[in-house]
């Protein structure tokens, strides 16, 4: 819930409680007095200002591009440096005049101009075409800017370009690219320090992108089962996120929760894809380091369960364990038969995710689990292997088992009271 | 990290914005100075080329340069394990009878060379995917030295096309002792057509 929505809801509640006589008017006033002023949002005038600024910048860029090759090289170089400097001068001016959104935008534009300057300097001076190296330079420059100015836009530029850098290095090396992790940890630290929602989401998304790239690198290198490696990596993120969410400051908890939610989505989707046969298991190798990573994810989820004395994270640990078994490729079946056990474990894993989300009151995890359940059922239905009649029987049996489980839970668990 | 943020919060915001801009400007300047150092300090080598001139969106014309040294025999590296699909290798160049530098040997690590030989660092484009489960060097390697693109004013790329077909285009590159290279001059029929200024 955004700060503005919270304030609206609080104001409505306070007015109702005062009218109902639940609290005195002085108590309501005291609660209102404890609230900080709501930060100024993006107004229509600001949006129009932003659009105008972008149009002028585009016009200037088109004008320079039209005459670019006629301009002497040192002048071109000077224009690029001046472009970067002007963006920051503008940013400082907006910041000074208490317009943080515009200041952030100016810094983000400065980082983008910095990226364009890297590319154009490369062209002007015939530099080697190390595209990934250029991306790293842009990512590092933008990250430094984000640290100095607190710009969320610059952090976004840094993370996007760092992901491209990582992807290109993975393509070059056909292996997992670990230097990205160091970069990501700095970004994660920044997201925690700022306690900013957009930063948390960007950092969590970048972690998933790294897992995807790493799985591709492993696939290219033929050193391990890439599906297992991906699931183990997102399982580790899921477990770590839950562990962070169970202890520490509010910003660490919020970061952990966001990370765990993105990892839950990634786990659900990847598991469904494996069941549907879209992701092959590739090499059957399961290196110890990757197995340990997956187990660590489950163990961290159990730790979160123990710390918070909640059942939800324990069910996540179970979901992780079942998912790891499914993607391990260790469940063997005859070539003509369906992998019934794999289907059953995949469904159970996603059911655990849904229930854990419900127990923790975490809607994103519930949605992730439902998406996983739906996708696994679709995967089982449309899998190319085996007979459709048998799959129909399996789905009916799975459905009956779920209804029986629901009935049992309805008897065991206490009824909700309104 | 918290200490860093606290320290930054004590500094006037305008100075932080100025520092951010200056750091990015400095990074760009460092790239150009680094290239300047390669051009100034590198040993000169003449290389026979085979350019083509595709268009590059928004970046004007450039000629793509293929060199005789772009494809080399792996020799001693053949069947050796490769650290990555696009691993770096070092090629020893020596002047031949026609005055061009040609590849003499390829090495996985830098080796000592004496003038007029030079050592140039290349990245494997193709030829690092032989072997079964383990990636090994093949018998021939296609290499990229970072001097394969030369940007020319718009419309001038095609003027180099015909001399390319006739094998009349050569370049002079500067190569540092560490193996890094930069184009210094582009010649047609032995006459300089583009001479790289330092700035």
* DSSP character string of A343-355: HHHHHHHHHHHHH
Instruction: Please report whether residue A132 resides in a domain.
Output: no
Residue A303 binned pLDDT confidence (cut-offs 50, 70, 90):
very high
Give residue-wise pLDDT tens across range B68-113: 899 899 888 888 888 777 788 999 999 988 889 999 999 989 998 8
The enclosing H or E element of A12 equals helix A3-19
Token pair of A314 as six digits? 């324990």
Residues B12 and B92 in one domain: no
Residue with tokens 């640990």: A317
Query: Which residues does B97 contact at the CB level (< 8 Å), separation at least 6?
Result: none
Residues B150 and B177 in one domain: yes
Give residue-wise pLDDT tens across range B177-191: 889 999 988 888 888
- All residues of chain A having their beta carbon less than 8 Å from the beta carbon of residue B135 are 174, 221
d(CA A106, CA A85): 11
- Per-residue pLDDT, averaged over A174-191, amounts to 92
Residues B14 and B99 in one domain: no
Residues B29 and B50 in one domain: no
Q: What is the pLDDT of residue A40?
A: 61
Per the document, the length of chain A is 418
A 10 A CB-CB count for B4 gives: 12
As a whole number of Å, the CA-based R_g of chain B is 21
- Higher pLDDT among residues A276 and B89, named by residue: B89
Give chain A's end-to-end CA distance (angstroms, integer).
Answer: 23
Residue B62 main-chain phi, psi, to 5 deg: -140, 150
Tell me: cis bond preceding A25? Omega within 30 of 0 counts: no
Instruction: Please report whether residue A176 resides in a domain.
Output: no
Residue A418 binned pLDDT confidence (cut-offs 50, 70, 90):
very low
Q: For residue A33, give its domain range.
A: 1-37
Residue A242 has pLDDT above 90, yes or no: yes
How much of chain A exceeds pLDDT 90, in percent? 46
Do residues B172 and B193 touch, judged by C-beta distance below 8 A?
A: no
Q: What is the pLDDT of residue B55?
A: 46
Residues B13 and B67 in one domain: no
Residues B26 and B73 in one domain: no
Residue A410 has pLDDT above 80, yes or no: no
Task: Tell me the nearest-neighbour CA distance from B87 into chain A, angstroms.
Answer: 7
- Per-residue pLDDT, averaged over A120-132, amounts to 82
CA torsion angle A382 A387 A393 A397 (round to 10): -60
- Per-residue pLDDT, averaged over A362-379, amounts to 89
- Higher pLDDT among residues A100 and A205, named by residue: A205
Residue A337 has pLDDT above 90, yes or no: no
Residues B29 and B54 in one domain: no
User: Which residue is closest to A94 within chain B, CA to CA?
Assistant: B14
The ipTM is 0.78
The enclosing H or E element of A92 equals helix A73-96
Residues B8 and B56 in one domain: no
Instruction: Please report whether residue A367 resides in a domain.
Output: yes
- All residues of chain A having their beta carbon less than 8 Å from the beta carbon of residue B23 are 141, 144-145, 148
Q: What is the pLDDT of residue A203?
A: 97
Token pair of A307 as six digits? 């710390």
d(CA B151, CA A101): 39
Residue B6 binned pLDDT confidence (cut-offs 50, 70, 90):
confident
- All residues of chain B having their beta carbon less than 8 Å from the beta carbon of residue A134 are none
Average pLDDT, chain A: 86
User: Which residue is closest to B22 within chain A, CA to CA?
Assistant: A85
Per the document, the length of chain B is 199
User: Which residue is closest to B150 within chain A, CA to CA?
Assistant: A126
- All residues of chain B having their beta carbon less than 8 Å from the beta carbon of residue A173 are 83-86
Q: What is the pLDDT of residue A201?
A: 95
- Per-residue pLDDT, averaged over A184-209, amounts to 94
d(CA B184, CA A39): 56
Q: What is the pLDDT of residue A342?
A: 84
Provide the 3-class DSSP secondary structure of residue A192: helix
Residue A325 binned pLDDT confidence (cut-offs 50, 70, 90):
very high
Residue A348 binned pLDDT confidence (cut-offs 50, 70, 90):
very high
Selected residue of A114, A125, A130 to mutate for chain B interface (largest B Cβ count, 10 A): A125
User: Which residue is closest to B11 within chain A, CA to CA?
Assistant: A148
Q: What is the pLDDT of residue A2?
A: 65
Q: For residue B78, give its domain range.
A: 42-195
Going A152 to A158 to A161 to A165, the CA torsion angle's sign is negative
CB-CB under 8 Å, B151 with A174: no
- Per-residue pLDDT, averaged over B139-154, amounts to 84
Residue B156 has pLDDT above 80, yes or no: no
Residue A376 has pLDDT above 80, yes or no: yes
CB-CB under 8 Å, B13 with A95: yes
Residue A263 binned pLDDT confidence (cut-offs 50, 70, 90):
very high
Nearest to B149 among A129, A144, A154 (CB): A129
Query: Which residues does B99 contact at the CB level (< 8 Å), separation at least 6?
Result: B46
Residues B117 and B19 in one domain: no
The DSSP bridge partners found for residue B191 are B188
User: Which residue is closest to A70 within chain B, CA to CA?
Assistant: B153
Structural domain count, chain B: 2
**In sequence order, what E strands does A238-305 have?**
none
Q: What is the pLDDT of residue A417?
A: 47
- All residues of chain A having their beta carbon less than 8 Å from the beta carbon of residue B4 are 147
Residues B27 and B112 in one domain: no
Residues B25 and B53 in one domain: no
Residues B178 and B98 in one domain: yes
Do residues A159 and A136 touch, judged by C-beta distance below 8 A?
A: no
Q: What is the pLDDT of residue A284?
A: 66
Provide the 3-class DSSP secondary structure of residue A338: coil
Selected residue of B14, B17, B84 to mutate for chain A interface (largest A Cβ count, 10 A): B17
d(CA A54, CA A153): 15
CB-CB under 8 Å, A74 with B84: no
Give chain B's end-to-end CA distance (angstroms, integer).
Answer: 39
- Alpha carbon of residue A359 to chain centroid: 22
Provide the 3-class DSSP secondary structure of residue A70: helix
Structural domain count, chain A: 2
Provide the 3-class DSSP secondary structure of residue B140: strand
Give residue-wise pLDDT tens across range A20-63: 888 888 888 888 888 877 666 667 777 787 788 778 777 777 77
Task: Tell me the nearest-neighbour CA distance from A69 into chain B, angstroms.
Answer: 6
Give residue-wise pLDDT tens across range A72-125: 888 989 999 999 999 999 999 999 988 888 899 999 999 999 998 998 888 888
């Amino acid at each position: 819930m955004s700060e503005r929505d919270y304030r609206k809801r609080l104001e409505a509640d306070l007015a109702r409680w005062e009218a109902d006589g639940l609290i005195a008017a002085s108590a309501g006033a005291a609660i209102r007095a404890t609230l900080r002023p709501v930060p100024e949002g993006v107004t229509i005038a600001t949006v129009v200002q932003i659009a105008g600024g972008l149009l002028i910048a585009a016009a200037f860029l088109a004008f320079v591009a039209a005459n670019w090759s006629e301009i002497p090289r040192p002048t071109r170089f000077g224009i690029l440096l001046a472009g970067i400097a002007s963006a920051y001068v503008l940013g400082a001016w907006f910041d000074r005049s208490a317009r943080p959104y515009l200041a952030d935008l100016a810094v983000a534009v400065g980082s983008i101009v910095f990226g364009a300057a890297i590319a154009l300097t490369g062209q002007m001076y015939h530099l080697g075409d190390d595209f990934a190296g250029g991306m790293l330079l842009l990512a590092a420059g933008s990250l430094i800017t984000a640290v100095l100015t607190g710009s969320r836009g610059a952090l976004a530029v840094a993370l996007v370009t760092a992901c491209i850098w990582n992807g290109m290095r993975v393509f070059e090396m056909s292996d997992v690219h670990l230097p990205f992790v160091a970069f990501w940890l700095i970004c994660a630290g920044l997201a925690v320090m700022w306690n900013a929602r957009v930063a948390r989401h960007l950092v969590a998304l970048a972690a998933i992108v790294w897992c995807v790239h790493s799985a591709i690198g492993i696939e290219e290198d033929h050193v391990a089962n890439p599906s297992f490696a991906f699931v183990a990596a997102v399982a580790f993120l899921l477990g770590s996120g839950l562990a962070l969410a169970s202890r520490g400051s509010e910003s660490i908890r919020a970061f952990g929760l966001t990370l765990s939610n993105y990892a839950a989505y990634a786990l659900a989707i990847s598991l469904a894809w494996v069941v549907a046969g879209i992701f092959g298991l590739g090499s059957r190798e399961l290196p110890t380091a990757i197995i340990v990573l997956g187990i660590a994810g489950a163990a961290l989820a159990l730790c979160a369960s123990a710390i918070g004395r909640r059942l939800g994270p324990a069910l996540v640990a179970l979901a992780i364990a079942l998912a790891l078994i499914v993607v391990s490729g260790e469940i063997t079946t005859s070539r003509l038969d369906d992998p019934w056990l794999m289907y059953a474990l995949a469904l159970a894993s996603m059911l655990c995710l849904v229930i854990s989300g419900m127990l923790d009151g975490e809607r994103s995890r519930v949605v992730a689990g439902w998406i996983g359940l739906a996708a696994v059922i679709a995967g089982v239905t449309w899998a190319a292997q085996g007979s459709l009649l048998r799959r129909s029987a399996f789905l009916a049996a799975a459905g009956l088992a779920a209804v029986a489980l629901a009935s049992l839970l309805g008897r065991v668990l206490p009824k909700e009271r309104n | 990290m918290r200490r860093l943020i606290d320290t930054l919060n004590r500094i006037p915001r305008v100075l932080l914005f100025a520092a951010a801009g200056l750091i990015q400007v400095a990074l760009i300047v460092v790239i150009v100075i680094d290239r300047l150092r390669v051009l100034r300090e590198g040993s000169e080598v003449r290389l026979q080329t085979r350019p083509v001139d595709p268009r590059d969106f928004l970046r004007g014309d450039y000629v793509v340069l293929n060199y005789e040294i772009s494809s080399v025999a792996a020799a001693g590296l053949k069947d050796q394990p490769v650290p990555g699909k696009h691993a770096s290798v070092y090629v020893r160049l020596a002047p031949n009878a026609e005055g061009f530098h040609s590849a003499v040997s390829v090495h996985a690590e830098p080796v000592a060379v004496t003038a007029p030989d030079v050592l140039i660092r290349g990245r494997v484009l193709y030829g690092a995917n032989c072997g079964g489960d383990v990636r090994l060097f093949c018998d021939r390697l296609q290499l990229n030295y970072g001097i394969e693109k030369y940007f020319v004013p718009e419309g001038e790329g095609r003027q180099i096309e015909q001399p390319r077909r006739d094998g009349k285009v050569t370049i002079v590159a500067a190569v540092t002792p560490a193996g890094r290279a930069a184009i210094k001059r582009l010649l047609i029929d032995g006459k300089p057509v583009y001479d790289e200024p330092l700035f």
